[in-house]
Amino acid sequence: MQKKEYPLQPGNPYPAGSSTKNKGVNFSIFSRYATHVELLLFSTSDCDEPFQVIALKKEINRTFFSWHVYVTGLPAGTWYAWRMDGPNQIREAGLHFDRDKQLIDPWSRAISDKRWSRKAACIPGDNKLNAMRCVVVNDRYDWEGDVPLRIRSERAIVYELHVGGFTKHASSNVTNPGTFSGLIEKIPYLQKLGITHVELLPVMAFDEQDVPQYTADLGLKNYWGYSTHSFFSPHPGYCVTPEQGTHVREFRDLVKALHQAGIGVIMDVVFNHTSEAGGDGPIINFRGIGDDIFYHHDKHDKSIFHDYTGCGNTVNANHPLVANFIITCLEYWVREMHVDGFRFDLASALARGENGEVLQDPPLLWAIELSEQLAKTKLIAEAWDATGLYQVGSFPGYRWAEWNGRYRDVIRRFVRGDQGLVSELATRLCGSNDLYEYNGRLPINSINFVTCHDGFTLYDLFSYNEKHNYANGEHNRDGCSNNLSFNCGVEGETQDLNILALRRKQIKNVFSMLLLSQGVPMLLAGDELLNSQSGNNNCYCQDNELSWVDWSMNEQKSDMLRFVQLMIALRKRHPSIMRRRFLTGKLLDDRGIHEIQWHGAELDKPLWDDPETKVLAFTLAGTDATEADLHVVMNMAEQAVTIELPVIAHRRWCLALDTSLKSPYDVLLPQDQKLMADDFYLVTSRSVAIFENVCLLNTK
């Protein structure tokens, strides 16, 4: 139905984007060099023609570099896009205007990609039949008193998951698979598991068509979401009714429900590059508005994009206007969407200056750290980029936690049976003080992980020595080839019961070490259910059962789930594992024991200098007299070792965990534990044993 044309007023440059005010809508967008700007208003997200085209006038609708207009009486729910023209000086100035292209608003709170064609946006000319659209959002919402959670970092247990893949499998049995709503239905599972935070793979609107052509020809698409184009908009593919512009409400419903369950929300954000790729990429928003400032270009030939991300472009994050855009965006997600933190993909790319140089004190990263609105949020950096900049242990700032790649590697190597690692292993288990203590940081600066979305699942880590990525269409060239994995004797699937048992034991070994480590543990969703990707370690394009979480339950899955639940419970009842400060090994005078004491197969004899040892043990004192002490033995040798339990006055040891035992004896709650009959215990090959003690003075 034809809509009336709405009357206009000059409008205001702030806030950027579209905002409802006084029964109308203010639109504002930045473009320094545009000479002609049009706002297009649409009845629906997929109609061909706008019902009103508004040509902005420089003398009325421009303030400095902002173009703005107020449309009187325009209701929320109206769809819109922009068109711009200006100098097309690609090589000389990095300016790339195409007056026929429909552009989406970088500040839009909700977009539709229903008719989107990436190919059409890559070639000159009109793409009105294949463009994305923005919608004016009704921002009213009843938070019911919700506020971001303030869970202390030392108590955090992070669970990395993909919103779509978590519930798309038919076995998930949710009403709306693959959506924010579907994830809400799985919150009771997350509560029972015991995690404190979900870390959501990218949920800002991204381009699902951003894959190589040979991959697209196989019917595959960008699944992980590391191809953002609209940083203020939840991804429409995760919404139940995106064509009704419900993105903001649906995401808020998820956050509120998670908070009501005591679970925080960390967003994986991708500010290092955008989906517009390189010189032959699509014009979506930034390239048609301010290509010259938003991306890194070669200083001699501005048509060449500097690519420190491996994705075609790099965001010029330390340009003042771009930095302001990123800060405003982060503050929006905290203030208006109540998220609890952010994990920054390839965060080291954000440390580069406008000419690509590595800055000692990057303005953007310090502005994020010092922002008052972000002061209580978790900040997590993937502290490297795609061109060799590696900043684990030296990422700029103090609040920033880091994905600790060195932790991942040493745990993988030790569990697979590599020799001579016990010294570094001890350092990693204690929070990596060699990386963080020297510059005043803490164990909570280390995000400890062994698996994540990028790489093998934990089941595949002990099922494959080599990657098997042929399904991606790149002849197995993609993905990391140095996986530090161990297939336990057979590559891939097997019916050998001994090998299957060893794989499950190795998985329990990893979970035990991860949840015993000082710092912040991160688990990959589905690892506790023995999920496999058939050896594919780069499922970025596999939106199918290969990468979806399989919820079907059998005895082995049920046993592993129980193991992880109880291991998380063990961590939570021991403040000694969740210290905010580094262990010193000091003598606790009131108890006559050390804060931590290291051992090998024999008490008090750690084999730090033995290049062949595969055994490490330690005794960890409780933080006070009410907390049980822990004695932990990690034996990754091919032979069993008989260990002696340390003598602690007025205390007796109980076996809490032995990864070599079958469920339900592999891990026990305190009420199910029994006092050890003697002071020795046989720790079998490739297994972890944990003992908790009880105070005899408190027993009857």
pLDDT tens track for 641-697: 999 999 999 999 999 999 999 999 999 999 999 999 999 999 999 999 999 999 887
* Local confidence band at 388 (pLDDT 50, 70, 90 cut-offs): very high
Number of domains in the chain: 2
Domain end (from 386, 403, 420): 403
Domain end (from 383, 403, 423): 403
Q: What are phi and psi of 399, to 5 degrees?
A: -75, -20
Q: Name 699's Cβ contacts closer than 8 Å, sequence gap at least 6.
A: none
Among all residues, which ones are annotated catalytic? 345, 382
Burial class (CB in 10 A: 0-12, 13-18, 19+), 360: exposed
CATH of the domain at 688: 2.60.40.1180
Arithmetic mean of pLDDT, 343-371: 96
Q: What was the pLDDT predicted at 88?
A: 87
Which tokens hold the place of 448? 């400890």
Nearest alpha carbon to residue 239 among 142, 336, 144, 163: 163
In this predicted structure, the answer to whether residue 591 has a pLDDT above a threshold of 90 is no
Arithmetic mean of pLDDT, 348-359: 94
Q: What was the pLDDT predicted at 249?
A: 98
SS3 69: strand
Percentage with pLDDT > 70 across the chain: 99
Mean pLDDT, all residues of the chain = 96
SS3 218: coil
**Tens digits of residue pLDDT in 48-84:** 999 999 999 999 999 999 999 999 999 999 999 999 9
CATH of the domain at 89: 2.60.40.10
**Tens digits of residue pLDDT in 282-324:** 999 999 998 999 999 999 999 999 999 999 999 999 999 999 9
Q: What was the pLDDT predicted at 2?
A: 54
Q: What was the pLDDT predicted at 700?
A: 47
Q: What was the pLDDT predicted at 355?
A: 87
Q: Is 238 part of a structural domain of the chain?
A: yes
* Local confidence band at 4 (pLDDT 50, 70, 90 cut-offs): confident
Q: What was the pLDDT predicted at 699?
A: 54
d(CA 303, CA 289): 15
* Local confidence band at 592 (pLDDT 50, 70, 90 cut-offs): confident
Q: What was the pLDDT predicted at 1?
A: 45
Q: Is 130 part of a structural domain of the chain?
A: yes
Arithmetic mean of pLDDT, 449-465: 98
* Local confidence band at 698 (pLDDT 50, 70, 90 cut-offs): low
**Tens digits of residue pLDDT in 228-244:** 999 999 999 999 999 99
Q: Is 328 part of a structural domain of the chain?
A: yes
SS3 329: helix
Q: Is 600 part of a structural domain of the chain?
A: yes
Q: Is 506 part of a structural domain of the chain?
A: no
Q: What are phi and psi of 265, to 5 degrees?
A: -120, 120
Domain end (from 403, 434, 457): 403
Nearest alpha carbon to residue 415 among 516, 558, 272, 525: 516
Instruction: List the domain range (segments joined by +) for residue 313.
Output: 1-153+198-403
d(CA 210, CA 310): 13
Q: Name 189's Cβ contacts closer than 8 Å, sequence gap at least 6.
A: none
In this predicted structure, the answer to whether residue 3 has a pLDDT above a threshold of 90 is no
Q: Is 193 part of a structural domain of the chain?
A: no
Percentage with pLDDT > 90 across the chain: 95
Q: Is 99 part of a structural domain of the chain?
A: yes
Arithmetic mean of pLDDT, 350-374: 95
Which of 93-102, 197-206, 418-427 has the lowest average pLDDT?
93-102
- In the chain, what is the greatest distance between 2 CA atoms, to the nearest angstrom? 89
Q: Name 146's Cβ contacts closer than 8 Å, sequence gap at least 6.
A: 255, 256, 259, 260, 338
Q: Is 422 part of a structural domain of the chain?
A: no
Q: What was the pLDDT predicted at 491?
A: 98
